[in-house]
Amino acid sequence: MTAEHLSKWYGQVIGLNDVSVAVPPGITGLLGPNGAGKSTFMKLVTGQLKPSKGSVTVLGEPIWQNPGLYFRIGFCPEQDSFYERMTGLEWVTALVRLNGLDESAAAASARRALEQVDLMEAADKKIGAYSKGMRQRVKMAQALAHDPTLLILDEPLSGMDPIMRRKTIRMIKDWGRAGKSIIVSSHILHEIESMTPNILLINQGRILAEGNVHQIRELIDEHPHTVYVKAEQTRALAREFLAYDDVLSLKFEDEAVVVQTGRPDAFYARLTELAASGAAGAIHEVTSPDDNLQAVFQYLVKS
Amino acid sequence: MTDTPTPSARSAEASRSISATEASRANGATDASRQSAHDRQTPDLVPSALRIFDLSLGQMLWSRRSVFLGVLLGGPVLLAFALRVMTALYPSGFRINGAVAGGAPIFGLIIWLLYIRFIIPVLGVFYGTALIADEVEDKTITYLFTRPIPRSAVLLGKYFAYLACTSLLILPSVMLVYFLIVPIGGGSIGAAFPALLKDLGMLVVGLAAYGAVFALVGTRLKRPLVVGLVFAFGWEPGVLLFPGYLKRATVAYYLQALVTHEMPQDSAVSLLMQVFREVPGVLTSLASLAIIVGVSLWFAGRAVETREYVLDQ
């Protein structure tokens, strides 16, 4: 994927500003806070937006108004939108049919993709009855089902529980090892770091840095990291958290605990173990607001 | 004497033959992969539109809009049922301007007032303007626009799904009304049946024309529903009241020429319409409506190809 002097304006607002970048094969993480231009970049790369200036080529061809390229691209969008009345299998099959497959071949591809994302058991359930994590996985299945060369995943781990998050990260790494090129966006550094060392840092519509993630993570670790954990037994969970020395503060919000940690890696690792053991009941959802990353970006911009 | 190949010669020949077969297979495979690569570059409009049709028809039939459509189409059936019950209660029959009205004229009245002037334009507005807008609003358009199909195939497939869905629902409604109303006053169902078939065809043509026009409105404008309603219930009836060429810029002008029933004179407006009414020929009307459908869909397809719908989200 190559962008040359790529800009996108929404009236007076600049979404992306004169970006020139070449994304190599393999897994590349696109990291930036909300409003940084990640979504604009993803929409340009997937041909949903037309560049205001400059060009973007994917797999050697311009993507805008080039539907033939989508034979080789799979896209998992950020938005949580589906045909709710369809089952997961029906939905993925219907979308793969648009790639020119007949009904039986499409159904077989859809089943394979649902197996890959560990969703076969719920394949015949209506999507409207899926949990947030299942909805994320069925979105990935539709992106995978036609065996694309390039996978573009926009915030794929958002809203998943810790165990599914770990499984999904492993899946993405496996796809990368199997030879697929993957562009994955997130506003959580540790997620990207666990998938790939190659990152593009984006903020205020510009690529701030590209390359190895490790230099950035040192900066991140200097800032407290907020984690929102929605769980069955919030009080039991809070008791567990209080025993961690890296937990700086915590508060209750509806059916969730909001934690500030000084060492996000250690916190996430222990949270995954806690979820697997079930010691503090079921953990339904883990999300991280991007305030911590925003602080680092502000620091980077100033320096 | 015939040349009999020695075993080694046979073996060499067989080996050559196998090599030739393999080469031919290899060439075939290369050709096939080349062909496949070529096919991958050029997704066709019609097969893509048919796949979108498959995907959209079920969605459309079981949507909230179809409940609205059911209520809308149930209205004339209920009215017909009520008229039939009243006929049974008052056998002297209905009188219009002092004369006893038969079932066929009442059926014609219902076709004009309810179906032509109201239900067909309403269906066109509500479904036509929403063909793409619903997917944009639900944010599901991304899944369709990131597949290897031309974007205009999405519009075309959805348009045909609309036509199939509304036709499947409107035809039973009209037939029920027909069977309930026509026998009133001793009318013969069999005698009026050819006229019913013409009515059904005319209604499908109306759905096709209004659907295409409002699909264009839906793909081009920001507030398509308001514009559509103004067009269907402001511009069209308004322009038909006056003499001149302006009425040719309406669907109703051509559609009304296909109606086999007498235009009702139910109000001063209808009388005015009757006075200034010009009736184009059936062939002229059908050709004009076909042009309206073709041109509207072409421009709508162009809009879908070039518009950045994610900005609307």
Confidence of residue A91 (pLDDT cuts 50, 70, 90): very high
- What is the average pLDDT across B207-221? 95
Reply yes or no on whether the pLDDT at B90 is more than 80. Answer: no
Q: Which CATH class is domain A224-302?
A: alpha beta
DSSP state letter for B231: I
Of A17-31, A85-99, A143-157, A276-290, the poorest mean pLDDT is in A276-290
Residues 6+ apart with CB under 8 A from B15: none
Reply yes or no on whether the pLDDT at A20 is more than 90. Answer: yes
Q: Does B146 touch chain A (CB under 8 A)?
A: yes
Residues 6+ apart with CB under 8 A from A282: A231, A232, A275
B43–A49 C-beta distance less than 8 A: no
Phi, psi dihedral angles at A126 (to 5 degrees): -70, 145
- What is the average pLDDT across A27-31? 92
Q: Does A99 touch chain B (CB under 8 A)?
A: yes
Confidence of residue A292 (pLDDT cuts 50, 70, 90): low
Residue A24 burial (CB count, 10 A): 10
Cα separation, B234 vs A148, whole angstroms: 51
Residue B66 burial (CB count, 10 A): 17
Confidence of residue B30 (pLDDT cuts 50, 70, 90): very low
Q: Which residue of chain A has the CA closest to B139? A: A81
**How far B181 CA sits from the closest chain A CA (Å)?**
38
Confidence of residue A113 (pLDDT cuts 50, 70, 90): very high
Bigger pLDDT: B73 vs B29: B73
The confidence score (pLDDT) of residue B1 equals 34
CB < 8 Å to A142, chain B? 143
Domains of chain B: which residue ranges?
Answer: 1-42, 45-312
Reply yes or no on whether the pLDDT at B89 is more than 90. Answer: no
- What is the average pLDDT across A205-218? 74
Sign of torsion, CA B91 B94 B97 B102? negative
The confidence score (pLDDT) of residue A203 equals 85
Query: Is the ipTM here above 0.85?
Result: no
Q: Which fold has domain A2-218?
A: Rossmann fold (3.40.50)
Reply yes or no on whether the pLDDT at A255 is more than 50. Answer: yes
A65–B148 C-beta distance less than 8 A: no
Identify which of B168, B156, B145, B131 has the alpha carbon closest to the alpha carbon of residue B294: B156
Confidence of residue B95 (pLDDT cuts 50, 70, 90): low
**How far B156 CA sits from the closest chain A CA (Å)?**
14
Reply yes or no on whether the pLDDT at B170 is more than 80. Answer: yes
Q: Which residue of chain B has the CA closest to A77? A: B142
Q: Which of residues 3-42 of A touch B (CB under 8 A)?
A: 10
A10–B311 C-beta distance less than 8 A: yes
The confidence score (pLDDT) of residue B97 equals 62
**Of A220-224, A252-256, A257-261, B48-52, highest mean pLDDT:** B48-52
Are A36 and A112 in contact, with CB atoms under 8 Å apart?
Answer: no
A34-59 core/surface letters (b: 16 or more CB in 10 A; e: else) = eebbbbbbbbbbbbbbebeebebbbe
Of A23-32, B256-265, B301-310, the poorest mean pLDDT is in B256-265
Q: Does A142 touch chain B (CB under 8 A)?
A: yes
Reply yes or no on whether the pLDDT at A266 is more than 90. Answer: no
Which long-range contacts (C-beta less than 8 Å, at least 24 apart) are formed by A126-132?
Answer: A126/A84, A126/A85, A126/A86, A126/A87, A127/A82, A127/A83, A127/A84, A127/A85, A127/A86, A127/A87, A127/A88, A127/A91, A128/A82, A128/A84, A128/A85, A130/A88, A131/A284, A132/A80, A132/A159, A132/A160, A132/A284, A132/A285
What's chain A's average pLDDT? 87
Residue B303 burial (CB count, 10 A): 19
A81–B140 C-beta distance less than 8 A: yes
**Of A125-129, A155-159, A264-268, highest mean pLDDT:** A125-129
The confidence score (pLDDT) of residue B13 equals 37
The confidence score (pLDDT) of residue B93 equals 64
Of A130-139, A283-292, B188-197, B296-305, the poorest mean pLDDT is in A283-292
Reply yes or no on whether the pLDDT at A95 is more than 70. Answer: yes
Bigger pLDDT: B297 vs B95: B297
Bigger pLDDT: B266 vs B250: B250
Domains of chain A: which residue ranges?
Answer: 2-218, 224-302
Amino acid at B200: L
**How far A97 CA sits from the closest chain B CA (Å)?**
7
CB < 8 Å to A79, chain B? 139, 142, 313
Cα separation, A244 vs A279, whole angstroms: 15
- Helical spans, DSSP H, in B182-312: 189-220, 224-230, 236-240, 252-256, 268-275, 282-306
Confidence of residue B286 (pLDDT cuts 50, 70, 90): very high
Reply yes or no on whether the pLDDT at A51 is more than 50. Answer: yes
Reply yes or no on whether the pLDDT at A93 is more than 60. Answer: yes
Residue A44, classed as helix, strand or coil, is: helix
- Tell which of B36, B147, B152, B309 to mutate to test the A interface (max A CBs under 10 Å): B147
Strand ranges for A48-115 from DSSP E = 53-58, 61-62, 73-76
CB < 8 Å to A73, chain B? 146
Of A112-126, A239-253, B200-214, the poorest mean pLDDT is in A239-253
Q: Does B235 touch chain A (CB under 8 A)?
A: no
The confidence score (pLDDT) of residue B39 equals 47
Reply yes or no on whether the pLDDT at A290 is more than 80. Answer: no
- Residues A154-169 pLDDT 10s: 999 888 888 888 889 9
Bigger pLDDT: B157 vs B13: B157
- Tell which of A12, A82, A98 to mutate to test the B interface (max B CBs under 10 Å): A98
Identify which of A146, A156, A136 has the alpha carbon closest to the alpha carbon of residue A42: A156
B43–A67 C-beta distance less than 8 A: yes
Of A72-86, A114-128, B148-162, B250-264, the poorest mean pLDDT is in B250-264
Angle (deg, nearest 10), helices A132-144 and A162-177: 10
Amino acid at A72: R
CB < 8 Å to B142, chain A? 48, 75, 77, 79, 81
Which of B143, B306, B310 has the CB atom closest to A43's CB atom? B310
**How far B166 CA sits from the closest chain A CA (Å)?**
20
Reply yes or no on whether the pLDDT at B18 is more than 60. Answer: no
B306–A95 C-beta distance less than 8 A: no
